Structure 1
Amino acid sequence: MIRSFLDRLRGIHAATIVPMKPDFSIDEDALAAHISRVAAVPGINGLLVNGHAGENFVLSLAEKRRVVEIAREHSPEDCLIVAGVNHEASLEAAREAAMLQQAGADGLLVFPPNSWALGHADACVIEHHERVRDATHAPLMLYGAPVGAGAMAYSPSVLRHLVMDPRFVAIKDGSWEVAAYEENLRLIRGLRPDFSVLGSGDEHLLTSYIIGSAGSQVSLAAVVPELVVALWNAAEAGDWTEARAVHERLYPLSVAVYRDAPGGRATARLKACLKLLGRLSHDTVRPPQPSATAEELSTLSAALHIAGYPTDMRGTEQ
């Protein structure tokens, strides 16, 4: 029996990172190993590549295509691969989407351009998504931006318009605020009950699962996939005591990666976690982001210990 894209999208999908060499080039061998390890964990149903954790805003189109090719080659045949599409120019976003689809992506997640944080006309949002839609035939996903990201989060009227386009079938809701998440969920369910809403604020996974969710595409699942799967399985079984216990182990790590000041440091911290766990030789991130500081490393190591993942601080001196 052939499973639909939405059936395969349900559950936990890891938003993967892209290992870099000290010269800032992509370490393809390390990427293949990262993909292989994460995708092999039972309960990881798919991958989100070229997302924010994958530094999509600093990769060239050729590099993004190569990431999809490596993910396709080194993950199980039934692993669902969704590729992020992130470009400031709509024409380039459409070209990128078509190329990533050709490279083997099963679906495409359309990110809003970062420039929209300063403000934009609603018509810009509609045209941007339509350009991507018309250049592809793969299932398309929306991205709900954090409520703190200026004007990037879509208004109810814009979200309503996008959801009613049948080519769009799901949303990664990264609003990062539980009231906004529930408001979006209720709006979408009222318009299209078949539309998948993924709760993807890593600090609020438990809350989103209680409110209602089809799963998550989250970067914590690229670091502690077993724990994120355990949280989802407990929630699916209605075992909220177990879910709360798993949440208690996950929460300090989610805060250390995503919430602690300064903001915008998640990718560097995710890579630092993987290095602390012995899964990466280098935690290099592309400029302008520097690698994790000594203080960040100490905090992350402590949080990983709480999560049940022993670390090795040797070789992490800055």
Structure 2
Amino acid sequence: MRLDRPMVEADDDATVFGGDLVTSAVSAHPGPAAGVLLASAAAWFVRAAGLVGTLEDPQWTYGLVGLDAVLALVLVLNRGPAKGLAQVGVVAQLLATAWLAREAPLAPVHLAYVILGVLALTMVVGEPGPTRRYLGLGLGLGAAVASAGLLALPMAGGSGAGARQSLVGNELGYRLELPAGWGRMTREQLAPHLVLPASTLHGGAVGFGDAAQGRYGLLWVERGAGKGAGCKGLLQALRGTLGEALSLPAPPALGAKATVNMLTTQGGAQGTLGCGVLADGRLVGLAVVAPPSVGVVDEAAFSAVGAGLALQ
């Protein structure tokens, strides 16, 4: 038997499994890294689907779910430049995470997703030893759970008391930047002050408010609605009574022919309702009310909310 052949095979194994810090082709132990990537895919799915919390990321966020799942499969197959592909993919995910956090980079939920990406990257750089493999797996699973859990915090998109939360509806083409201290509210949080209409095939509503100040509101956007029937239909859905017209200027986003009236809801809250139809036929309704204990909501609150509304 030739003595050089076993040494060549030993060198091949060292090159394939070990390599240098960045360019090692595959991994001798792909399982832990794949586990972290699968946990990351689950955390991104919870965020992209809006299963928890108030973040409304763009639809392409689902691509990060698929990216992590594919990278985990590539590592498990362990063929070709598997680790190189994983490194490039995780770096791309980190860049996307930073872009999504651009408005509130210090928000806990955004920091958690960045940490999750960094942990995934440390698992695919070089050949981790036993300590890095198992410690990284534990920390990665914990970071994935923490990232999804932090989505449930109120004002998850904010970085402090003075932060402004943005509500985005890509399908209906709206973006609402709320005043400082305001945040998104669920149907249960709005009741009984304001009824949040159920979504339809062509329209949907989003609720918001500042419970500390006793202010509650909603935005309704519907495609292809006629002005007369549309505004009347919205009023019926709100189960309210329309009062006198106000001289208050309507927010520019509601269109040039929008109307602004006093609104009294079924629960006794009073405030302002603006309704208009855009040139493309979309019906847009914006309401801000206050419960009887607070009194009639001041027009400045309606104007402040309307100033942050933009439709595309």
> TM-score, with normalisation over the residues of structure 2?
0.26
The structure with the larger Rg is 2
Q: Between Structure 1 and Structure 2, which shows a larger proportion of strand residues?
A: 2
Higher relative CO (CA 8 A, sep ≥ 6), structure 1 or 2? 1
